[in-house]
Structure 1
């Protein structure tokens, strides 16, 4: 298994200062290539990256945690894709928006919340329920954390558990992801994110402002995970077992699930075309802090990429183009490996 171009691209990200460091894993059948390069921290003092530390994976929380829990509830029959969310969210009145709309980011929910990051958890909860449905509803995919915050509250309404506790019980524990957590007990085991003017060095505490306010009731961000635990998750997603979701839903994830089936979006995951050995889709998702996962179940190939691109300062927009180029390199190289 040779992924020399992909690994060289990762090394360049660190060498050129686009990210402080990277922890990665490339899976190809039963073979794995793993590596770490660079630093976990640059300021206030340099610290080299260590093996299998906890990363704030940001929006990977959506697909590693919230999506499996929601699909499990659908599989059990207590929820359907066409259920209006107003059935579960007291205070939300627009009956057009369904579970499918939230999962595929086609809800069109929009609006502005003044002083959003300064609100209490209850105030933010109430404010989010005052948002409205805009003109993109049912027509366009517009990525928004609100969709997955609402999904988390719906899970809570059904199970009685805050979404993060439900993820622990239904995903992390059953899969043996024993290092991953929403509440790290030792900040020094965590790769730091931003050196903030208001919060100081953010380490062992979630970077995302909404998740920091909502705590255990946030389904859009908040998970801290190690590379090895995410490799375990990916292996299950490529397997023929029914964990963390059924094999039927694993197949459904590889199809466009938006209402018009033309937005390259599945349940939570984005779709990316793969041409070899026959045209099909892989799935991928990223996190604001500098993380992403690509999974191609048909070819039994995947990549886990963990960085803290928001350290020492967010947003570091240069990372986005470099990340997309890296994914393109990986997809090309993995297809060549499959030939």
Structure 2
């Protein structure tokens, strides 16, 4: 494994000042190459990025954690894609919305919550359950955290434990992701995210405001992990038969399909879809996180890439990063 062009593209993110540093992993079947470059922090003083440092992976929580447990329950017949959300969350009144809508971000759930980030968990929970369904319902894919917050609450109703505890017990532990957690005990091994007026330098605590309020009941964000652990997760996706109790193969192999109602939104259950042209045109799954993380998994060629950075450090949102991220993914897909 060399990936010279992709590594050069990663290095340009540093030299162009787009991100402080990068941790990465390339997975080719049973081989894994990891590396780091740049800094973990630039404030309050520069700090060199070290191998094995832990990242707030933000929305990768959705696919690594919440989706994995959901697929287990689907495989066991304890949940069904056609279940109405209100069957499990009676506080939610619109019976049109199903689990499939949540998983594909086609629920149309929307609305404004005043002072959202200042609410306590019970008030935020109540406010989210009072949102409404807008005109995009069943028609458009509109990415929204609320879908996986609701999904996490549904899992909680099925298993009688908060979603993050379920993920730790049913996904992270059995896969051997020993450095992955929702409650880091050593903040100094965590890569810091933003500096905010309310919280100062955020390090070892979830960056996402809703995740910070909801804590272990949040299925959309909150996971901390390393490049090596996420490489382990990607390998499990490439060989799900080896971990069938964690990642049900019949569902994992179907994730390159477009599961949206119209089948044209390039969205699977949980994952976004893109295309690889080698060895012939086929779909690849990928997902990103707001803090500057993403996974790309090519199940057909059994290859994957883990990319971790803290692009929100020291200030979010760092919009130039988004174009550069997509360019790096394109370089990787062309080079592999």
TM-score between the two structures when normalised by the length of structure 1: 0.97
Tell me the residue number matched to 1:312: 314
Seen in structure 2, the aligned counterparts of structure 1 residues 16 and 243 have a Cα distance that, compared at 3 Å, is farther
Tell me the residue number matched to 1:260: 262
Tell me the residue number matched to 1:196: 196
Tell me the residue number matched to 1:151: 151
Tell me how far 1:258 sits from its aligned partner.
Answer: 0.7
CA distance in 1, matches of 2:153, 2:140: 24
Tell me how far 1:278 sits from its aligned partner.
Answer: 2.3
CA distance in 2, matches of 1:39, 1:261: 42
Q: Are the aligned partners of 1:237 and 1:244 in contact in 2 as well (CA < 8 Å)? A: no
Gaps of 5+ in 2: none
Deviation per CA, 1:5-64, whole angstroms, max 9, x where unpaired?
Answer: 100000110111100000001112333332100000100011100111110000000000
271-280 vs 221-230, which moves further: 271-280
CA distance in 2, matches of 1:243, 1:177: 15
Q: Aligned-pair RMSD on alpha carbons?
A: 0.8
CA distance in 2, matches of 1:124, 1:289: 22
Tell me how far 1:66 sits from its aligned partner.
Answer: 0.3
Tell me the residue number matched to 2:325: 323
Tell me the residue number matched to 1:238: 238
Tell me the residue number matched to 2:86: 86
CA distance in 2, matches of 1:49, 1:278: 37
CA distance in 2, matches of 1:202, 1:221: 15
Tell me the residue number matched to 2:28: 28
CA distance in 2, matches of 1:248, 1:122: 37
Which aligned pairs between 1:106-185 and structure 2 lie closer than 5 A? 106-185=106-185
Tell me the residue number matched to 2:300: 298
Gaps of 5+ in 1: 335-339
SS in 1 for 2:221: coil
Aligned length, in residue pairs = 334
Q: Are the aligned partners of 2:32 and 2:231 in contact in 1 as well (CA < 8 Å)? A: no
Q: Are the aligned partners of 2:56 and 2:222 in contact in 1 as well (CA < 8 Å)? A: yes
CA distance in 2, matches of 1:324, 1:42: 24
TM-score between the two structures when normalised by the length of structure 2: 0.98
31-40 vs 166-175, which moves further: 31-40
| Equivalent position to 2:251, from 226, 249, 252 | 249
Tell me how far 1:243 sits from its aligned partner.
Answer: 4.9
SS in 2 for 1:294: strand
Q: Are the aligned partners of 2:84 and 2:98 in contact in 1 as well (CA < 8 Å)? A: yes
Tell me the residue number matched to 1:284: 286
CA distance in 2, matches of 1:180, 1:207: 16
Tell me how far 1:72 sits from its aligned partner.
Answer: 0.5
SS in 2 for 1:252: coil
Residue 51 (str. 1) matches residue 51 (str. 2) = yes
CA distance in 2, matches of 1:44, 1:243: 44
Q: Are the aligned partners of 1:175 and 1:243 in contact in 2 as well (CA < 8 Å)? A: no
273-282 vs 197-206, which moves further: 273-282
CA distance in 1, matches of 2:335, 2:286: 16
Q: Are the aligned partners of 1:236 and 1:243 in contact in 2 as well (CA < 8 Å)? A: no
